[in-house]
Chain A
Amino acid sequence: MTRLPAILRPNRLEITGSVFLAIAMGVIGGGVAASRVLGPLLGRFPSYCLGPESVKPADCDHFVGRINDYENVLSNIGPAAIAITVALPLIAAIVLGLALTARELEQQTTVFAWSLAPSRRRWLLSRLGPLLLVVAAMCLVAGALADAIFGLQSTVDPWRSLDGLGTRGPPVAGMGALAMGVTLFVGSLLGRQLPALLAAVALTASASALASGVTDRWLDQESLIAPSDQLSEGDRFVAMLFLTPEGEAIGWEEAERRYGTAIYEVDTQQLGLTQVFRYVPGERYPTAVARLTAIQLLVGAIGIGLALVVVQRRRPWA
Chain B
Amino acid sequence: MITTEGLTKRYRRRDALRDITLQIPDGGVTALVGPNGAGKSTLLKLCIGFERPTAGRLEVNGIDPVRDRSRAVASIGFVPQTPSLYRDLTITDHLDLAGAIRPGFDVAHARSRLEALALPTDARVGTLSGGEQSQVCLAIALGTRAPLLLLDEPLANLDPLARRDFLRVARRAANDGDTTIVLSSHVISEIEEAADRLLVLGEGRVLFDDTVAHSVDSHRVVEVGADLGEADFVSRFPGRGEEVHWLVRRPSADIGRPATLEEVVLGYLARGRASSAGMISPSATA
Instruction: Tell me if B189 counts as interface (CB < 8 A to partner A).
Output: no
Contact with B along A98-112 (1 / 0, CB 8 A): 000000000111111
Contact A115 B86 (CB under 8 A): no
Select one of B84, B99, B144 contacting A109, CB under 8 A.
Answer: B84
Known: A6-B93, A117-B73, A316-B50. A112 touches B86 (CB 8 A): yes
Instruction: Tell me if A56 counts as interface (CB < 8 A to partner B).
Output: no
Within A65-112, the residues touching B (CB, 8 Å) are 107-112
- Bound CA–CA A92/B70 (angstroms): 32
Select one of A3, A9, A109, A115 contacting B78, CB under 8 A.
Answer: A115
B251 to chain A, nearest CB (A): 43
Known: A7-B97, A118-B74. A13 touches B48 (CB 8 A): no
Contact B71 A111 (CB under 8 A): no
Instruction: Tell me if A46 counts as interface (CB < 8 A to partner B).
Output: no
Contact A7 B101 (CB under 8 A): yes
Instruction: Tell me if B233 counts as interface (CB < 8 A to partner A).
Output: no
Contact with A along B87-108 (1 / 0, CB 8 A): 1110001101111111101000
Instruction: Tell me if B115 counts as interface (CB < 8 A to partner A).
Output: no
Known: A7-B100, A315-B50. A112 touches B70 (CB 8 A): no
Contact A9 B84 (CB under 8 A): no
Q: Which residues of B contact A109 (CB under 8 A)?
A: 84-86
Instruction: Tell me if A130 counts as interface (CB < 8 A to partner B).
Output: no
A66 to chain B, nearest CB (A): 52
Q: Which residues of B contact A3 (CB under 8 A)?
A: 99-100
Select one of B76, B99, B140 contacting A6, CB under 8 A.
Answer: B99
Instruction: Tell me if B82 counts as interface (CB < 8 A to partner A).
Output: yes
Q: How many residues of A contact B (CB 8 A)?
A: 24
Instruction: Tell me if B210 counts as interface (CB < 8 A to partner A).
Output: no
Q: Which residues of A contact B85 (CB under 8 A)?
A: 109, 112
Q: Which residues of B contact A5 (CB under 8 A)?
A: 96
- Bound CA–CA A35/B96 (angstroms): 47
Contact B97 A9 (CB under 8 A): yes
Contact A116 B101 (CB under 8 A): yes
Select one of B51, B70, B73 contacting A115, CB under 8 A.
Answer: B73
A284 to chain B, nearest CB (A): 47
Within B43-100, the residues touching A (CB, 8 Å) are 48, 50-51, 70-71, 73-74, 76-78, 80, 82, 84-89, 93-94, 96-100
- Bound CA–CA A13/B87 (angstroms): 12
Contact B80 A6 (CB under 8 A): no
Most buried by B among A3, A10, A13, A111: A111
Q: Which residues of B contact A9 (CB under 8 A)?
A: 89, 93, 96-97
Q: Which residues of B contact A119 (CB under 8 A)?
A: 70
Contact B73 A114 (CB under 8 A): yes
Q: Which residues of A contact B77 (CB under 8 A)?
A: 115
Within A241-265, the residues touching B (CB, 8 Å) are none
Instruction: Tell me if A64 counts as interface (CB < 8 A to partner B).
Output: no
- Bound CA–CA A13/B77 (angstroms): 29
Q: Which residues of B contact A108 (CB under 8 A)?
A: 82, 84
- Bound CA–CA A111/B93 (angstroms): 17
Select one of A111, A114, A116, A315 contacting B105, CB under 8 A.
Answer: A116
B263 to chain A, nearest CB (A): 34
Residue of B nearest to A108 (CB): B84
B210 to chain A, nearest CB (A): 29
Contact A115 B100 (CB under 8 A): no
Q: Which residues of A contact B50 (CB under 8 A)?
A: 111, 114-115, 315-316
Contact A10 B89 (CB under 8 A): yes
Contact A116 B102 (CB under 8 A): yes
A200 to chain B, nearest CB (A): 23
Instruction: Tell me if A123 counts as interface (CB < 8 A to partner B).
Output: yes
Q: Which residues of B contact A115 (CB under 8 A)?
A: 48, 50, 73, 76-78, 80
Instruction: Tell me if A113 counts as interface (CB < 8 A to partner B).
Output: yes
- Bound CA–CA A163/B144 (angstroms): 57
Within B99-133, the residues touching A (CB, 8 Å) are 99-103, 105
Residue of B nearest to A121 (CB): B70
Residue of B nearest to A13 (CB): B88
Select one of A7, A111, A126 contacting B84, CB under 8 A.
Answer: A111
Contact B86 A10 (CB under 8 A): yes
- Bound CA–CA A67/B204 (angstroms): 82
Within A1-27, the residues touching B (CB, 8 Å) are 3, 5-7, 9-10, 13
B255 to chain A, nearest CB (A): 47
- Bound CA–CA A3/B89 (angstroms): 16
Contact B51 A117 (CB under 8 A): no
Q: Which residues of A contact B94 (CB under 8 A)?
A: 112
Residue of A nearest to B71 (CB): A118
- Bound CA–CA A123/B93 (angstroms): 16
Q: Which residues of B contact A114 (CB under 8 A)?
A: 50, 73
Q: Which residues of A contact B48 (CB under 8 A)?
A: 115
Among all A-B residue pairs, the 8 with the closest Cβ atoms: A111-B84, A115-B78, A6-B96, A3-B100, A6-B100, A118-B70, A116-B102, A117-B101
15 contacts between A and B (CB under 8 A): A9-B89, A111-B78, A111-B84, A113-B97, A115-B76, A115-B77, A116-B98, A116-B140, A117-B73, A118-B73, A118-B102, A118-B103, A123-B101, A315-B51, A316-B50
- Beyond contacts A109-B85, A115-B78: 5 other A-B pairs, Cβ-Cβ < 8 A, are A3-B99, A112-B94, A113-B101, A115-B48, A126-B101
